[in-house]
Structure 1
Amino acid sequence: MSWRPMTPQDLCQVQTLADAIHVSHPEDPEVLAERQRLYPQGCFMLVEDERAIGYALTHPWRFAEPPPLNRLLGAIPPSATTYYIHDVALLPEARGKGYAARITDRLLAHAREAGFDNLSLVAVNKSQVFWEKAGFRVVAVPGLGAKLASYGPDAALMVRDLANLGTTPNGVTSAMKKF
């Protein structure tokens, strides 16, 4: 099994996986396709014997402003301050085998190479423990409660710092935005 870059031809498989894995968080095909089109270098497939068993969708974004579920982004903002992990999704048979850790390492390396000093995500479906083991921590952002609630009852905004750079007065780490 290996992670490889996602192509537009993979999007039907991505939709099938998303529908099976994220029953409580459905997303339209256009949403998944837009993520891949806007930032293909941040999208990956996990394949075993030519069968898709997982995917990852990531892109630059603005810290503490997670995109609403099932909404088009329109564009990657020029003011992106974080490398955002939209989704790392694995079928049950692929879990617990180190594949999520491998793609996380790849995403960390990509974020560093792109000049970001942090990655962020919204942990859902009891994934917070995995992300904490990967070095992410929960951050509380005033006014974000209602948006996080739309992700589900256990949703938590998490961040992984990549550099010890200064923070702004509100605690948000600045990024270099070299994507």
Structure 2
Amino acid sequence: MIDWHWRPMTPTDLSGVTAVAKVAFPDHPEAPERFAERLRLSPGNCFVLADTDKIAGYLIAYHWPLGEMPALDAPLDELPERTSALYLHDLALLPEAGGSGRARAGIALLVDRAKADGFTTIGLVSVNDSAAFWTRLGFAEVTRDAALTRKLASYGPDARYMIRRV
């Protein structure tokens, strides 16, 4: 039995993170340097699901204004002034790691970290028809206006902006 567990991400994990992303998000590819940048900017909010020799998932979050989302595969260079919200950039698992509560455990880890660091909300963009999944994890869709619809357009037709209070 594989003993996958969540732990802090390190730079040596980035090739595994990139491999998971290619499987989990084939329609939303991001350059490997984007993952490295997000880890550099927010190391306390980046985690991997791993056993002793394989990365089976990852979670990347950073502070970002509520109701906003960065462009896909775009450099951030630096984070904006700290806000009360975290943005969950990605939660991805390989298929063999899914369906076992590991995603829920990753979100619980992030929620605990968010509370400890004084954040009040986590925002995300659901893609790939995943809104029902995020709803089960405590997130709720934000009512769209024209501005939000424009922001979500690059994420695909099923993109939804969702938030969860912590």
TM above 0.5, yes or no, is yes
1:113 matched to 2:116: yes
Paired amino acid for 1:121: L
What is the number of equivalent residue pairs in this alignment?
A: 162
Paired amino acid for 1:153: P
**Separation in 2, partners of 1:15, 1:49:** 18
1:2 matched to 2:14: no
Q: Which residue of 2 aligns with 1:41?
A: 44
Could you tell me whether the CA contact under 8 Å between 2:140 and 2:164 is conserved in 1?
A: yes
Structure 2: gaps of 5 or more residues: none
Q: Which residue of 2 aligns with 1:161?
A: 165
Structure 1: gaps of 5 or more residues: 163-179
Higher-helix-fraction structure: 2
1:137 matched to 2:140: yes
**Separation in 2, partners of 1:37, 1:84:** 15
**Separation in 2, partners of 1:22, 1:132:** 20
1:103 matched to 2:77: no
Paired amino acid for 1:13: G
Could you tell me whether the CA contact under 8 Å between 1:11 and 1:32 is conserved in 2?
A: yes
Is the partner of 1:76 in helix, strand or coil? coil
TM-score by length of 1: 0.87
Q: Which residue of 2 aligns with 1:55?
A: 58
- Cα displacement string for residues 73-101 of structure 1 (whole angstroms, at most 9, x for unaligned residues): 12121142311100000011111100000
Could you tell me whether the CA contact under 8 Å between 1:64 and 1:141 is conserved in 2?
A: no
Choose 124-133 or 86-95, whichever is displaced more.
124-133
The alignment-based identity, stated in percent, is 43
TM-score by length of 2: 0.93
